[in-house]
Chains A and B, each alone.
Chain A
Amino acid sequence: MNNLLITLVVLTISASGYFFITVSKAGLDNNSLSENEVKDQFTKVPDLPSISTGSEPVLIKSVRTNQDNEKQSQHSKVDDFGSITYQLSDSSFMTQLALDTDVKMSINGVVNRVRLEQTFTNPTNDWVEGVYRFPVPEDAAVDQMKMKIGDRTIIGKIQEVEQARKTYNKAKALGQKTALVESQRPNLFTTNVANIPPGGTIKVAIEYQQTVQRDQNQFSVRFPMVIGDRFTPGRDISTPVSPGAVASNTHLVKDASQVVSLTDNRVDRPVKINIDFNPGFAVSQVNGSYHDIYVQNQDDHRKTIHLAKDQSVQADRDFELTWTTTSKEESELAVFTQKKGEDHYVLLMAKPAVQNELDHDSIPREVIFIIDSSGSMDGSSMEQARKALKQAIHRLKATDRFNVIDFDDRFTPLFKEAMPAIKLNKKRGVNFANRLDANGGTMPLNAIQFAFGSRDRKSERYLRQIVFLTDGQVSNEQQILREVKSNIQQDRFFSIGIGSAPNSFLMKKLAQYGKGAFTYIGKVAEVESKMTELFKKLESPVLINNKVTFANHIYAEQGGLMVPDIYDSQYVSLIYKMDSLPKEVTFSGLELNKSFSKTISINNKFNAVGLDVLWAKRRIENLMDEYINTSDSKKRADIKDRIIKLGLENHLVTKFTALVAVDVTPSRPGDETLVSKPVAKKVKAPNTATNSELSILVGLLLLIISVFVRRLRTK
């Protein structure tokens, strides 16, 4: 008897799962809405693709012709071009377009010139406008744009951004093919292409230049391919949003609609990379950090490199190329020069050797770890961060102090104030790291404020270092940078970028303001080696408060204003514009509490190209820093003018200048009028009922059963 009852109870409970399904199905039938009725009232459209980290698809704004005005109410999937088109009932539609990216890099010594060609193909029957948001390295100086239509090439001109938009919109209205390249953030650009004919193709090629990074004997260049889903704090405001926007502007991030991207990793976005590699010296270990590459030797030093396999990859993670010198000897200084008109542009890559070995044990440190556990860190990013944090804690000495602050949309500190790094506390830190769980928004500001605020009287006796582990997927960079700049005092700020595509603009700027260093960890396997490198820097700041001087008669204008702290293994790269070439260079600064000065004579100079552009880019970067950190509107307007002037003179895309190209031959026939329809968006309806009634019903049923059981027993 008992067995039977147990079975009954189990059945009832397990049935409740099934119950859901059957009753809800029945509910649908009872509703007496026949399929046809549903169809008559509404158009069937597919779900919006799920939003996940990946690269941004092209959103197309439709420009319909008169002939094509009859309403279409089905969605079509165009496989030929690997794109997905959603056509909606109200004659507007949204297309996700496959976009081919062809990357050609030419690495010459320390300068990397990159050509990035995007092919916009229109698989629809309408004249369309394509909007594409893409990442570039934050130090890239974008100075060329070419629009290719068939055999013809139209070269983009630099204009003030408002003027460029006007030029673009005018051409768009006239039915001319036109392209516009703008910069929303130093590492985030947008290309707009208007009047792509039905079935037609327009290619937009941009070119940029950057310096090769150097760390000890290792050199590297990085090509970002992904914009992460950025978190936007603040209240929504009702300013107009950009076409294809997925986020509203907020009172904290006024341009959120332009920087937050809709991502869909199902869209085909092949990227080809070809590199002409000419480092100028013998190299070994040429590697792609996150991709397989194929290297072909041309002559002594020259190589061609392309992606292995079928030579193209999906744009789902950043590309990095690294190489090392074969010579064991580390030079203190490498000098590259370029003559342009009367001016000399000089690039110094320096690592002045410090004579006396530091006694590392003598400086106790106070390390505040700030760790990101927001939703965007979910998966291997969280694993990397956890591992990195645990290693860092293990490495602390008992004489050091530390604290850990975990943040998502809120923050939780491990201790109220920094505690000695004794075994007990370290264990608590490790447990804290193990418990980290990735969810919620990315709001680091309060955590950073807490880190500054928890500085106490004891802190003075320590070298205070803030270590920030995050993917940096935020869009309120300015607010965070301002906070760090105004409260950093004598603290040092180290940022560790985690994941397949961290926001390296933010991370590098933070490290620059905090005179620390930026380390990038792209995969779990890298955690150990990268962290060890960072520990060296954390434990031994070599030279601070640095100055670089030349002979008195030389007039030298530095591209960036500050000379950063020089760490044990790191080269600093500095660019100057000078009226004559120097014979020697003097580095001076502070080494612990002792002053340091060293003059190095320049023996070898290498010729280079494009240093002028890099100099202007650093100048602009510097002015942008000033612009962000002043609230005086008059001063801001003045800085803006100077940025515009530099941008126009050097043909550079900045926040205030953009490249625009117009094909003067009108291509859209005059009788096909331009009707610009808004892009309608579809949103999934959320679940809007609770199980309250059901659980009461199940509860009652169980009560009845229990009474029934009782009665059986008493019998």
Chain B
Amino acid sequence: MKKLTIGHIVFILGAVFILYGAYIPVKAKVAQYLIHQSWNESRSSGEDVKPWDWADMHPVMQLSFAKYQQELIVLEGDTGNVLAFGPGHNLQSGLPGQDRTIMISGHRDTHFEFLKDVVIGDQFEVNLREENQPFKYQIENIKIINSDTQDIEINEEENQIKLITCYPFDSAVSGGPLRYVLTAKKVKK
């Protein structure tokens, strides 16, 4: 057998890193596809349908940004293992229909990448599983905050959605302190 040289090892390591890097967005895409299917199924049957057998999360709502051709299923919880598969709803925040801030976070390089194009005035819809009528929201405000010194405020009197993703969008590394926060208010009928 040929001796494994440093060159080989470095080459294999490089390939592993590239594969891992490529796997993250693929996983995010495939997961959303499966979650979409289970969402549609559970909306028609009215029962909890898991996207895959060993899934440990469940969908709570659907976001539709028609302008950007984005339809995303939001999952319950916003811990790292949930965000890998889709945007996550913070458990302490509200739900559409409540007068309470709804907080949804997503990865800037997968599901919430399109947020960099969203501008104030854009409208989007939110569907709940039990409701037939979508809730309409309009982006009112876009801010960048430093999450080391600031937190996201949950207002108990306002029906609003805060969409959160990392900032800047094109940074190669994760773990930075800045967050891009879009605040949307419910559109009155």
Contacts and interface: CB of A to CB of B under 8 A. Distances in A.
Contacts of B108: 688-689
Given A27-B171, A45-B151, A709 B177 contact: no
A691 B83 contact: no
Interface residues of B, number: 71
Contact of B24 (A678, A681, A691, A706): A691
Contacts of B164: 685-686, 688
Interface stretch (B63-71, B87-95, B132-140): B87-95
B106 A698 contact: no
B174 A687 contact: yes
A689 B18 contact: no
Interface in A669-696: 678-696
B144 A238 contact: no
Contacts of B172: 23, 693-694, 697
Interface stretch (B2-10, B30-38, B116-124): B2-10
B168 A688 contact: no
A236 B77 CA distance: 12
A142 B63 CA distance: 49
Interface in B1-54: 5-8, 10-11, 13-22, 24-25
Contacts of A691: 21, 24, 173-174
A680 B93 contact: no
A9 B144 CA distance: 37
A696 B178 contact: no
B175 A686 contact: no
A33 interface: yes
B160 interface: no
B127 interface: no
Given A24-B173, A38-B146, A30 B168 contact: yes
B150 A689 contact: no
Interface string B95-108: 10110000101111
Given A28-B178, A689-B176, A691-B173, A683 B154 contact: yes
Given A28-B178, A686-B105, A690-B24, A702 B17 contact: yes
Given A681-B92, A686-B88, A688-B165, A28 B176 contact: yes
B103 A45 contact: no
Interface string B150-173: 111111110000001111100111
Contacts of B167: 31
A611 to B, nearest CB: 46
A308 interface: no
Given A682-B151, A688-B164, A695-B17, A24 B92 contact: no
A700 B154 contact: no
A700 B152 CA distance: 37
B176 A685 contact: no
A16 B175 CA distance: 13
A409 B146 CA distance: 34
A20 B173 contact: yes
Contacts of B78: 686
Nearest to B143: A41
A525 interface: no
Given A23-B172, A689-B174, A702 B14 contact: yes
B169 to A, nearest CB: 9
A689 B107 contact: yes
B95 A699 contact: no
Contact of A685 (B6, B84, B109, B145): B145
A42 B150 contact: yes
Contact of B14 (A47, A247, A701): A701
B62 interface: no
Given A686-B80, A693-B172, A28 B24 contact: no
Contacts of A694: 21, 172-174
Contacts of A634: none
A6 B6 contact: yes
A691 B165 CA distance: 14
Contacts of B143: 41-42
B17 A687 contact: no
A238 B97 contact: yes
A702 B21 CA distance: 14
A637 interface: no
B166 A689 contact: yes
A28 B153 CA distance: 22
Nearest to B108: A689
Given A30-B168, A690-B24, A709-B10, A685 B175 contact: no
B17 A696 contact: yes
Given A691-B174, A694-B174, A702-B10, A678 B155 contact: yes
B144 A33 contact: yes
B7 A47 contact: no
A702 B12 CA distance: 9
Contacts of B83: 686-688
A540 to B, nearest CB: 42
A142 to B, nearest CB: 31
B173 A688 contact: no
A83 to B, nearest CB: 20
B109 to A, nearest CB: 6
B171 A238 contact: no
Given A238-B97, A698-B17, A701-B14, A687 B80 contact: yes
Given A27-B168, A683-B90, A691-B21, A20 B151 contact: no
B174 A699 contact: no
A209 B91 CA distance: 38
A605 interface: no
Given A33-B144, A409-B56, A699 B14 contact: yes
A692 B25 contact: yes
Contacts of B14: 698-703, 705-706
A678 B107 CA distance: 31
Contact of B179 (A440, A680, A688): A688
A248 to B, nearest CB: 8
Contacts of B146: 28, 38
A684 B148 CA distance: 9
A44 interface: yes
A590 interface: no
A27 to B, nearest CB: 5
Nearest to A88: B153
Contacts of B13: 13, 699, 702
A662 B90 CA distance: 39
Contacts of A692: 21-22, 24-25, 109-110
A693 B155 contact: no
Contact of B22 (A13, A48, A440, A696): A696
Interface string A54-77: 000000000000000000000000
A36 interface: no
Interface string B75-87: 0001110011000
Given A238-B97, A681-B92, A24 B17 contact: no
A304 to B, nearest CB: 46
A13 to B, nearest CB: 8
Contacts of B79: 686
A24 B145 CA distance: 15
In the A-B complex, the 6 residue pairs with the closest CB atoms = A699-B17, A702-B14, A699-B18, A696-B21, A695-B21, A682-B151
24 contacts: A2-B6, A24-B175, A28-B177, A31-B178, A38-B149, A90-B155, A238-B95, A238-B98, A248-B91, A409-B56, A678-B156, A681-B156, A683-B151, A688-B83, A688-B112, A689-B166, A690-B24, A691-B174, A693-B173, A695-B17, A697-B21, A699-B15, A702-B14, A709-B10
Interface of B: 5-8, 10-11, 13-22, 24-25, 56, 60, 78-80, 83-84, 88, 90-95, 97-98, 103, 105-110, 112, 143-147, 149-157, 164-168, 171-179, 181
Given A687-B80, A699-B20, 8 more contacts: A5-B6, A24-B173, A38-B145, A238-B98, A248-B95, A687-B175, A695-B18, A699-B15
